[in-house]
Every structure is written in C-alpha cells, then in structure tokens.
Structure 1
C-alpha cells in the first residue's frame, strides 16, 4: 500500500517536532536526518544522496552517526530540509535560556 504524502502543514509540524526532540536530546542527529528524509521528504537513501551530492554509503553512515564529514557537507545534507548546522550549548539550562 502506498503511503499518503503529507501536506505542507504536516511536513512543517514533523520538522518542528524532530528538531524539538533533537534539542531535547531524545534523538540524535542521525535519527533526525533519517526521520526527516523519510517522513518529511518521502525519499529513499539513494534519492536523497543524489539530491545532496553524496554517496548512499555516506548518507547511511550519517544516519547511523558513524560519519566523519565536513561542516560544509553537513550543511549540504540538511539544506533540502531548510536546516543548517549550528552551535548550541551542551548544558540543558543554557540551551533553555538561549531558546527562550
């Protein structure tokens, strides 16, 4: 059975929820990338890797948090999702204050 494509509001809600989970350290960056690739964009690893100009193996390694890549490549990987890599405080209290 074919999966129903999410509408733009559903995509945005999923993106916001995944970013929230990432900031709350409920998921890691690889989990976030995999969820967003699949559930927001509906793309396979092959299709997404071609879209961002990396190998499927590198994408797989990223999704398993086993990749060692440059900041430029990370930003290229997250660009189709409207995200960019940045600096965040490691301490939950500081993060909370920074986001409020």
Structure 2
C-alpha cells in the first residue's frame, strides 16, 4: 500500500486512519501493524524520528510494530497519541467487535 504523502490531503489522511482502525477492529491487522502503517503513511516518519517524538527507544518502537513488546497502558497511549488515538476498551467477542466495526453509528 504505497502512499505518496505529498499528495495526501488532510481528509485522505483521516480516511486512511479510519480505514486502518476499522481493519484493527475486524482483526485484519494488529496494533503493531496499525502503528507502523500510520507512522509511515500518515506522518511520514522513520522509526528513529517517531521514537524520538514519543520518547521511547527505536528498538522499543520496532518491538511494538512487530507485536513483540510488553507495554503498559501509559506507553501505549504515548505511542498512539500523535496519531490521534488512545487505548480503550473493546468487546472481547469477535461478533460484537465486528458489529462495532461495521456499524459504529448504530451502537447505543
């Protein structure tokens, strides 16, 4: 999924963010994959640049992106904050999560 950031408008970046988060909800990608895609395609930053921005080591960022890190909620929130995301509660049931991902406006 190669995206040219120079041609990506604010609306296109938001649409990409929403698409990727929806893929996360549908269990099509992991949190690490989400972070990597957003870091590269929305912010256009290297691992070194992003790690410095959020105050972690490049190795820790690499571990997060490969889903190999054991993180606290504080670190998770710090890592996702520049992307406009925060860690939250989601249903464990795949059926409920699918329903949430497919119809977010229809939930009570």
TM over 0.5: yes
1:42-82 deviation line (CA, Å, top 9, x unaligned):
00000000000000000000000000121001000000000
- Where structure 1 has 5 or more consecutive residues not aligned to the other structure, the ranges are none
SS of corresponding position for 2:37: helix
Q: TM-score, normalised by structure 1?
A: 0.91
Correspondence for 1:54: 56
Correspondence for 2:41: 39
Correspondence for 1:85: 87
- CA-CA distance at 1:97 after TM superposition: 5.4
- CA-CA distance at 1:93 after TM superposition: 2.2
Classify 1:10/1:58 alpha carbon distance in 2 versus 1 (closer, same or farther; 3 Å): same
- Where structure 2 has 5 or more consecutive residues not aligned to the other structure, the ranges are none
Distance in 2 (alpha carbons) for counterparts of 1:25 and 1:69: 20
1:2-13 to structure 2, matched below 5 A, reads 3-5=4-6, 6-13=8-15
- CA-CA distance at 1:94 after TM superposition: 2.1
Higher RCO structure (Cα 8 Å, ≥6 apart): 2
Correspondence for 1:20: 22
Tell me the number of residue pairs that the alignment of Structure 1 and Structure 2 aligns: 98
Classify 1:14/1:49 alpha carbon distance in 2 versus 1 (closer, same or farther; 3 Å): same
Q: TM-score, normalised by structure 2?
A: 0.85
Distance in 1 (alpha carbons) for counterparts of 2:85 and 2:64: 15
